Amino acid sequence: MTALLEVNGISKTFDGFRAINNLSFNIGAVELRAVIGPNGAGKTTFMDIVTGKTRPDSGQVLWGERSQSLLKLSEAQIARAGIGRKFQRPTVFEDQTAAENLTMALKAPRGPFRVMRWKPSKDSAARVAELAGEVGLVQRLDHKAGELSHGQKQWLEIGMLLAQEPRLLLVDEPAAGMTLAEREQTTTLLRRLAETRAVVVVEHDMDFVRRLNCKVTVLHQGAVLAEGSLDHVSANPEVIEVYLGR
Ligand SMILES: Nc1ncnc2c1ncn2[C@@H]1O[C@H](COP(=O)(O)OP(=O)(O)OP(=O)(O)O)[C@@H](O)[C@H]1O
C-alpha cells in the first residue's frame, strides 16, 4: 500500500502536557480508516495537525506521491492540496437551499484566478446534481438546509467537501446525533466514498465503527496503542483496559 498521508514521529505539548507523543502512522490513497480511543487520546489534535490548525513541536507530516511536507503549508493550502475536514457539527448555510449550498462549495477558492473567473454554468448545475446523487440528497436539492434533518445536513456538508475533490476526507464523529437509519446510510456513504479516496473517521460509537468494517487505529496518550481489524484491536488487553472495558 502506498501511503497518501505519512505521519512520522510527531509530538505536541500543550502547557507541559504531551497531547501527541511520537505518533506515527500511514493512510493509504484508497482506504477507509477508523480512529478510536478514549477522551483526550489526541484524536482531535491529530486532525488539527494534519489540517494545519496546530503545528507539532517535532516530527513530519508527508503528503502525496512526492512526500510533500504539510508542516510549512497554511490551512487553506492544505485544503487545496486535497484534504477536506468534516467537523462534528454541520456548518451549512441554513437559509440557502441544498443546491445553493453545493453551488457555493463549487465556487470555493482553489486559486485567485479561478474565483475571479467563476460563474454558475450548466456544468456547475450538472456537478451539483452529481454531488447530490453521491450523498443521497437529489430529492432535497430545493429544500432549505435549515429544513433538513441532522443526518441530511451532515451529508450535505460532505457533499460540499466533495465539491473540492479531496483525496483525503477527515470526518469527526459522524454518528453523533443521528438516527439509526441515518447512521446506516452514513456508513454506506463513507464506505462508498472510500472506494476512490482516503477517508479517516474519528468515532466513539463502536456499533458504527463495526459497520464501517475497516482497519482501526486505537490512539492512547497521543500514540498508537493498537491497529488492525476491530475484532483484532478489541481482543487487545491494553485496549480493553484503557477504552473498551470501561
Ligand atoms: N489547545 C489546547 N490547549 C491545551 N490543551 C489542549 C489543547 N488541545 C488539546 N489539548 C489537550 O490535549 C489532549 C488531547 O486532546 P484531544 O482533543 O486531541 O483528544 P481527543 O482524543 O480528540 O478527545 P475526545 O475523544 O474527548 O474528543 C487533551 O488532554 C486536551 O485537553
CA dist 79 and 135 (Å) reads: 20
- The residue whose CB lies within 8 Å of the most ligand 1 atoms, and thus the one to mutate among 12, 18, 39, is 39
* E strand or H helix at 122: helix 122-134
- 58-63 and 3-14: which strand pairing? antiparallel
Query: Mind listing the pLDDT tens digit for each residue in 55-105?
Result: 999 999 999 999 999 999 999 999 999 999 999 887 899 999 999 999 999
CA dist 191 and 76 (Å) reads: 26
The half-sphere exposure of 56 on its side-chain side, counting CA atoms within 13 A, is 28
Cβ atoms within 10 Å, residue 95: 10
Query: Mind listing the pLDDT tens digit for each residue in 190-216?
Result: 999 999 999 999 999 999 999 999 999
Give me ligand 1 centre to Cα 204, in Å: 15
Q: 236 is in which domain, residue-wise? A: 3-244
* 177 within 8 A of 92, measured Cβ to Cβ: no
Query: Mind listing the pLDDT tens digit for each residue in 11-38?
Result: 999 999 999 999 999 999 999 999 999 9
> Is residue 217 scored above 60 in pLDDT?
yes
* 10 within 8 A of 61, measured Cβ to Cβ: yes
Give me ligand 1 centre to Cα 172, in Å: 14
pTM: 0.92
Give me ligand 1 centre to Cα 242, in Å: 16
Q: What is the DSSP letter of 228?
A: E
In sequence order, which ranges of 11-111 are alpha helices (DSSP H)?
43-50, 75-81, 98-107
* Per-residue pLDDT, 91: 85
Residues having CB closer than 6 A to ligand 1 are 14-15, 19, 37, 39-45
> Is residue 245 scored above 90 in pLDDT?
no
Report the complex ipTM.
Answer: 0.94
What CATH number does residue 217 fall under?
3.40.50.300
> Is residue 113 scored above 60 in pLDDT?
no
Whose cell is 478510536? That residue is 36
CA dist 34 and 23 (Å) reads: 16
Instruction: Identify the residue whose C-alpha is closest to ligand 1 atom 5.
Output: 14
CA dist 47 and 33 (Å) reads: 13
* Per-residue pLDDT, 118: 53
- 198-202 and 168-172: which strand pairing? parallel
Domains held by the chain: number: 1
* Per-residue pLDDT, 89: 82
* Per-residue pLDDT, 150: 93
Query: Longest Cα pair distance anywhere in the chain, in angstroms?
Result: 57
**How long a stretch of residues is the chain?**
246
* Per-residue pLDDT, 190: 97
> Is residue 117 scored above 60 in pLDDT?
no
Mean pLDDT of 109-133: 71
